[in-house]
Amino acid sequence: MLGKLSFRNAKRQAKDYVIYFITILLVVALLFSFNSIAVSEDIAELSNSMTNFSKAIIGINLVIVFVMVWLINYTMKFMLEKRSKEFGTYQILGIEKKDIANMFTIENLMIGLIAFVVGTFLGIFIYQVFSSIIMNIFAQPYQIVIAFDWKAVGITAGCFFGIFLLVLLNSRRKIKKTKVYDLLYADKQNENNQIKSMKGNVFLWMVSILLFFTGLWTLSLDFLNAQTMNGKKTIFAVVQWIVAIYLFYGSVSRFIVKYYLENKRRKYKKNHLFLFRNLTSKINTMSVTLGTIAMLFAFIMIGGNVALMMNGLLNNEIEMGYPFEIMIGSVDPDFSKYKEFMEKNTTVTDMYEYRLYNIPKTEIDKAFEGTMFEGRGYEEFDYVLGLTDYNRLREMLRI
């Protein structure tokens, strides 16, 4: 009977919590597709630096896992609260707490398992999309193959069920701990607001702002010298920002609510009362939710900007290093064969031939110290070219 009950509950839940289900499903799908990329041999063969790429994907996985922990915990808590009366009824009927916890576990495992299976299949297709994009970037021919990598499945399953079971264990503990009275009357309770005074909120707010700036300062220390940069300070800065974001949202939301509820004229204006009272009843969860979303947005924006910056940097470097379409260097002064080939096969409009002379090493490379040209000189000589050649080349580049 209890098994039947939990099966029905799971079925009803799947209907009630469609959003929860779809979210888990998408998270699993994303996690699986990223894992597939990380372990894919096709992609690893693309380039030597692909191991770094795989490492970056693992980093992204960590972020997804973090979001997953928060998401699953949040929804399970939400479900527990929503169903507290039901659990209270079970207890009143004389069902052992252990059995109630088991029932909840079975239900959630069923939902989790279905989400995992469907999510994995969805992930296969998402992986195809991602890998075709990557292959495209490297201009590789690509065929769609329904590849199913057990290693990726293993990693995904490990992450997903690891988190799922941890959260579930926590929920079980809660079910066993909560008194039946609290379960039956749970919907009548509000979350309590820990910091009651305005001053406390303002103080926390100032601390959060301070942390933003100390974070910035720590980060700048890391970027002062590119040679000694090891990322430790960057991580420290990120930690400071995370704390700052949560503190900021916690204090500001409490401050705003307090500000409106303390003054009766503000409180009773329009529908302020209804709005702010609804906010206060769930203020702890709400500020954490806001903080988490803000943090993710911050990461997305920082990540996006860094990606754009790196892209610009690399493109720039290509432009600087190789400004012409075709450059041929040779110790043999006879270029006629090359010229002939180019005239046959390409549509070159302008061509110029010049000589480089080597002279004994000068102090010139000292002038490049600290710029991106540092260390680009040749070992024994410095190379020079004639001024006419130089001007002609500039003309070709229209500068």
Partner 1 sequence: MILKKILKVEQIQKYYGNKDNLAKAIDDISFDVEEGEFIGIMGASGSGKTTLLNCISTIDTVSSGHIYLNNQDITEIKEEEIAKFRRENLGFIFQDFNLLDTLTIEENIALILTINQVPEKEIDERILEMAQKLGITEILNKYPYQVSGGQKQRCASCRAIVNHPKIILADEPTGSLDSKSARQLLEMLEDMNQNMKATILMVTHDPLSASYCQKILFLKDGRIFNKIEKGERERKEFYHEILDVLALLGGETKDVR
Q: Which is nearer to partner 1, 89 or 234 (CB)?
A: 89
Q: Which is nearer to partner 1, 91 or 171 (CB)?
A: 91
The answer to whether residues 58 and 28 touch, using CB atoms and an 8 Å cutoff, is no
- Residue 146 contacts partner 1 per CB under 8 A: no
Number of shown-chain residues binding partner 1 (CB under 8 A)? 22
Nearest distance in Å: CB 169, partner 1: 20
Q: Which is nearer to partner 1, 95 or 135 (CB)?
A: 95
- Residue 1 contacts partner 1 per CB under 8 A: yes
Task: Give alpha helix (H) positions in the chain.
Answer: 2-16, 18-39, 41-44, 50-82, 84-93, 97-137, 150-177, 180-184, 198-224, 232-262, 264-267, 272-281, 283-321, 336-345, 387-396
Give residue for tokens 């749970």: 186
Nearest distance in Å: CB 83, partner 1: 10
- Out of 78, 148, 181, 390, the residue judged to bind partner 1 by CB under 8 A: 181
Question: Could you tell me which stretch among 41-49, 81-89, 128-136, 329-337 binds partner 1 (CB under 8 A)?
Answer: 81-89
CA distance 29 to 12: 23
Q: Which is nearer to partner 1, 114 or 184 (CB)?
A: 184
Which tokens sit at 304?
């996006």
Using CA atoms, how far residue 62 sits from 21, 58, 313, in Å, is 21, 6, 27
- Residue 93 contacts partner 1 per CB under 8 A: yes
- Residue 232 contacts partner 1 per CB under 8 A: no
- Return the C-alpha torsion angle 343, 348, 353, 357, nearest 10: -120
Contacts with 73 (C-beta within 8 Å, 6 or more apart), sequence order: 167, 170
Helix or strand or coil: residue 358?
strand
CA distance 31 to 99: 33
CA distance 302 to 127: 25
Nearest distance in Å: CB 255, partner 1: 28
Q: Which is nearer to partner 1, 8 or 232 (CB)?
A: 8
Using CA atoms, how far residue 310 sits from 58, 95, 230, 293, 360, in Å, is 20, 60, 18, 25, 37
Nearest distance in Å: CB 186, partner 1: 13
- Out of 54, 73, 89, 128, the residue judged to bind partner 1 by CB under 8 A: 89
Binders of partner 1 among residues 5 to 64 (CB under 8 A) are 5, 8-9, 11-12
- Residue 192 contacts partner 1 per CB under 8 A: no
- Out of 19, 48, 49, 94, the residue judged to bind partner 1 by CB under 8 A: 94
Contacts with 11 (C-beta within 8 Å, 6 or more apart), sequence order: none
Neighbours of 253 (CB within 10 A): 19
Question: Could you tell me which stretch among 31-39, 87-95, 216-224, 243-251 binds partner 1 (CB under 8 A)?
Answer: 87-95
Q: Which is nearer to partner 1, 44 or 109 (CB)?
A: 109
Nearest distance in Å: CB 105, partner 1: 17
- Residue 187 contacts partner 1 per CB under 8 A: no
CA distance 335 to 355: 12
Nearest distance in Å: CB 134, partner 1: 46
- Residue 92 contacts partner 1 per CB under 8 A: yes
Q: Which is nearer to partner 1, 92 or 328 (CB)?
A: 92
List interacting residues with partner 1 (CB under 8 A).
1-2, 4-5, 8-9, 11-12, 85-86, 88-89, 91-97, 180-181, 184
